Structure 1
Amino acid sequence: MTNKTFEQKDLECKSQQKRPLNILMLCWEFPPNIVGGLSRHVFGLSTHLAEQGHNVYCLTAGNSKLPSFERMSGVNVYRVRPINEQDDQFLSWIAGLNLAMAMKAEQLSEEIQFNLVHAHDWLVGAASIALKESLRVPLLTTIHATEHGRNNGIHTEIQQFIHDKEQQLISDSDQIIVCSDYMKNELMSIFHVKDDEIAIIANGIDNLNVEQNFKPCFPEITQKKYIFSIGRIVREKGFETILEAAALAKEMEMNCFFVVAGKGPMLETYQQQIREKKLDKYVAFIGYITDEQRNALINGSEITVIPSLYEPFGIVALETMMLGKPTIVSNTGGMKGIVKHLQTGMLMVPGDAKSLLEQVHFLMNNPEKAEEIGEKGRQIVKSMYSWKRIAFETIRVMEDTLLNTRVNENENVQNVTPTNKSYVKKV
């Protein structure tokens, strides 16, 4: 029996598909509201599910500046404002968001018969669990990261609260999706999830186009060769390692300059450290940039670095590799499943500035090898991480989840006695 190509499977899936699914997708962030990688993930997945003929209804957080409804790339996007929109307490704000989401979904269900709910992380867990019961449909959940993983354990009351919410969502879900073997092992060890309850589907990425010249926007780096990094500016992303590497480079009089882009709560702290340690000739944190500027900065760099301490997958690494740049990533989380050392990228010891500089030094002194690594990385990303492929795999999980739910319900009906028929869910 010959192995079928992805394109053959895609055509077979479309030919066998009797009807499109009505998918109710819940996420707290969706473009143009981008806080982290979750927003880009949900956008990429939902648009390609719609491209394959399915009806996607995405519920997400809104505000006064964004329309309450719009159709984006085939996806029906409904933005709701939390019941207590002005609440400064994040957990209270999230609770109000879930109430608003549940109310909107109930309203939509009067006209749309949803086949399943797809939740993204604990932030929409309360609404998703409630809708599973009220709509009587399966709940599929993608866990993008865990509070335990971010903090290397649970240490505070707030972390415990989030951890408990993650546990509740995982327990009430009919099927779980994670992005890597690393995340699967994390859920099995921390939440004791069974192996067959978890499907591994990687993150995806579309082709990146370099359309904007970044030089007018960042004149301070136009004359320099630089090493580029990007991400949300929080401790778990490991940018302190870059600061330490810059300090070592200064001490060693090493000719390298790091450019770090992104916004987050640690941005001003890191910028202050640069001033205090007089590292402005070795590193710059430039803050928020647009996608076009990101692509241009990646394209203009010599090397890219993703120094995360905790990274369930590492979609940023896909972005840098897509543009053919030799990429250094921490040997942790999902990234070590993407990069093969000295083949499709370079691995560094997480949190180790000396290890980072060793990889930088090797690539700088072996330009032909660096170019080869960049090209091999680009090829593997294009072949393995397309959103078309990811959407196809997700649909298969959705269809399996629906089938398993029907089988379980039929078994419940067959096993029911006359005295307890009233407790059986409607099929």
Structure 2
Amino acid sequence: MDNSFFQQNDLGLHTSPSNKQSLKILMLCWEFPPNIVGGLSRHVAGLSVHLAESGHEVHVLTAGNGNLLSDEWIKGVNVHRVKPINEYDDNFLSWIGGLNLAMAFRAEKLSEDIHFDIIHAHDWLVGSAAIVLKESMELPLLSTIHATEYGRNNGIHNEKQRFIHNQEQELIRESDQIIICSEYMKNVLSTVFDTKNEKMAIIPNGIEPLKPELKTADIFPELKDKKYIFSLGRIVKEKGFETIIEAAAIAKKRKLDCFFVVAGKGPMLETYRRQILELKLESQMMFIGYVNDKERNALIAESELTVIPSLYEPFGIVALETMILGKPTIVSNTGGMKGIVKHLHTGLLMTPGNANSMLEQIDFLIEHPLKAEEIGNRGRQIVTSLYGWKRIASQTGMVMQDTLLNKRVKPSEANETLNNK
């Protein structure tokens, strides 16, 4: 970055000749490409790259491993990777604790050379480091809460869940501003954590334009010339894939021509594969495991339609991925997805956990191909216009600037009050 291109205003913010404020952002996230566990990684990648493109200096602090560089410049973003203090600990909560210690230490070293303006933390997994750094570096803390333990489990039922819930609560309390991805998540934070409305800003997840480059038959020969219904996501209970298994069993019993393909990895993958064998549903569906982005795009593009049957979904970025490729998409009428899809206009809504409801929506789309195409086209248009990363990054940048200004104005107001006494 050419420092001569930027001047400094009275508040210490860096501004370009067009008076656009440029921030030095320290972003904390436990996963970042090519280390991909879930949607969080893609979100932070898209956001950081487009914040950098808009003129901000972005430093992402994340977990690394032996195969990745400790420091790397990726599409304008400074990526700094650390190894947890106890990187071989099998206990995930202990591992996360070690990651936060390593993150805090590395951030302190970075701050010796870089005067950061704001910290942006993503979920409780980096909350401990974020809170410590907020105090030690005397910076405002902005946090994006992508999901909650309460929502994932429909309540708090054991000690591990209670620990994570408390970590979320502390991060929310200590944050100067919160970003959530949907009206649904705003209601959750308001109800479960008693978070004030003025502390929350709704900014949806974003998505890049997708373009199929491969043919499904070249990747998965068993799908050559086969009509299929596609679904994808992390293979965990809250994603609702058991509903697809149930729908496949009903379809087999009714002799319906439905074949389901589910892509993704996760702790429930082998369990679901065993269920398919036990129920003798191999002719009705398959779990193909992890797919990369190019394989995913091909599978979406060549499917008849897509189904996202989540039981819990704060937003639903997977739905954006299918919709942006013009596929008619069925989503559960829950969480943030019901804010993305308008029934029979940009997609179809099904009752969460209800296999018969899923099959009704599938039957409608198959029986009305012209309407299905129309719905797919409208879905693509709405996603392209509302969920582009350039727009999302711009909104996030404005929230960051407001957070920084509010943080600096409040101490000034407090001092003025004391002086007037």
Band of TM-score, shorter chain: over 0.9
Which residue does the alignment assign to 2:369? 367
Which residue of 199, 208, 230 maps to 2:201? 199
Which residue does the alignment assign to 1:43? 45
Provide the C-alpha distance between the structure 1 equivalents of 2:19 and 2:83, rounded to a whole number of angstroms. Answer: 36
AA aligned opposite 1:46:
S
AA aligned opposite 2:115:
Q
Which residue does the alignment assign to 1:133? 135
Q: Indicate yes or no: 2:387 matched with 1:385.
A: yes
C-alpha offsets along residues 165-189 of structure 1, whole Å, 9 cap, x if unaligned? 0000000000000000000000000
Q: What's the C-alpha RMSD, in Å, of the aligned pairs?
A: 1.4
Q: Indicate yes or no: 2:336 matched with 1:334.
A: yes
AA aligned opposite 2:155:
G
Which residue does the alignment assign to 1:95? 97
Specify the SS of the correspondent of 2:216. Answer: coil
CA apart distance, 1:163 = 0.2
Which residue does the alignment assign to 2:219? 217
Matches within 5 A, 1:138-153: 138-153=140-155
AA aligned opposite 2:51:
L
Which residue of 391, 410, 418 maps to 1:408? 410
AA aligned opposite 1:296:
A
AA aligned opposite 1:410:
S
CA apart distance, 1:302 = 0.4
Matches within 5 A, 1:100-179: 100-179=102-181
Q: Indicate yes or no: 2:266 matched with 1:295.
A: no
Provide the C-alpha distance between the structure 1 equivalents of 2:213 and 2:226, rounded to a whole number of angstroms. Answer: 21
Structure 2 unmatched ranges of 5 or more: 1-14
Structure 1 unmatched ranges of 5 or more: 1-12, 419-427
AA aligned opposite 2:78:
N
Specify the SS of the correspondent of 1:70. Answer: strand
Provide the C-alpha distance between the structure 1 equivalents of 2:168 and 2:182, rounded to a whole number of angstroms. Answer: 18
Provide the C-alpha distance between the structure 2 equivalents of 1:335 and 1:71, rounded to a whole number of angstroms. Answer: 34
CA apart distance, 1:15 = 6.3
Which residue does the alignment assign to 1:424? none
Provide the C-alpha distance between the structure 2 equivalents of 1:184 and 1:15, rounded to a whole number of angstroms. Answer: 36
Q: Indicate yes or no: 2:69 matched with 1:80.
A: no
Which residue does the alignment assign to 1:356? 358
Which residue of 29, 32, 51 maps to 2:31? 29
C-alpha offsets along residues 104-154 of structure 1, whole Å, 9 cap, x if unaligned? 000000000000000000000000000001111100000000000000000
Segment of structure 1 superposing worse, 289-298 or 404-413: 404-413
CA contact (8 A) 2:16 2:22 kept: no
Which residue of 323, 326, 335 maps to 2:325? 323
CA apart distance, 1:216 = 2.1
- TM-score w.r.t. the length of structure 1 is 0.94
AA aligned opposite 1:86:
Y
Provide the C-alpha distance between the structure 1 equivalents of 2:285 and 2:148, rounded to a whole number of angstroms. Answer: 30
CA apart distance, 1:223 = 2.2
CA apart distance, 1:417 = 6.7
Provide the C-alpha distance between the structure 2 equivalents of 1:214 and 1:61, rounded to a whole number of angstroms. Answer: 33
Provide the C-alpha distance between the structure 2 equivalents of 1:375 and 1:17, rounded to a whole number of angstroms. Answer: 39
Q: How many residues align?
A: 407
Which residue of 251, 262, 266 maps to 1:264? 266
AA aligned opposite 2:123:
D
How many percent identity over aligned positions? Answer: 67
C-alpha offsets along residues 52-87 of structure 1, whole Å, 9 cap, x if unaligned? 010000000001011111011100000000001111
Specify the SS of the correspondent of 1:215. Answer: helix
Provide the C-alpha distance between the structure 2 equivalents of 1:158 and 1:219, rounded to a whole number of angstroms. Answer: 43
C-alpha offsets along residues 352-381 of structure 1, whole Å, 9 cap, x if unaligned? 000000000000000000000000000000
AA aligned opposite 1:171:
R
Provide the C-alpha distance between the structure 2 equivalents of 1:170 and 1:227, rounded to a whole number of angstroms. Answer: 39
- TM-score w.r.t. the length of structure 2 is 0.95
Specify the SS of the correspondent of 2:170. Answer: helix
CA apart distance, 1:14 = 7.2
Which residue does the alignment assign to 1:4? none
Provide the C-alpha distance between the structure 2 equivalents of 1:276 and 1:200, rounded to a whole number of angstroms. Answer: 44
CA contact (8 A) 2:148 2:168 kept: yes
AA aligned opposite 2:151:
G
Provide the C-alpha distance between the structure 2 equivalents of 1:212 and 1:319, rounded to a whole number of angstroms. Answer: 16
Provide the C-alpha distance between the structure 2 equivalents of 1:278 and 1:216, rounded to a whole number of angstroms. Answer: 27
Provide the C-alpha distance between the structure 2 equivalents of 1:24 and 1:17, rounded to a whole number of angstroms. Answer: 22
CA apart distance, 1:414 = 2.0
Provide the C-alpha distance between the structure 1 equivalents of 2:18 and 2:30, rounded to a whole number of angstroms. Answer: 33
Provide the C-alpha distance between the structure 1 equivalents of 2:16 and 2:185, rounded to a whole number of angstroms. Answer: 30
Specify the SS of the correspondent of 2:43. Answer: helix
Provide the C-alpha distance between the structure 1 equivalents of 2:419 and 2:277, rounded to a whole number of angstroms. Answer: 74
AA aligned opposite 1:312:
P
CA apart distance, 1:406 = 1.0
Provide the C-alpha distance between the structure 2 equivalents of 1:67 and 1:214, rounded to a whole number of angstroms. Answer: 33
Which residue does the alignment assign to 1:54? 56
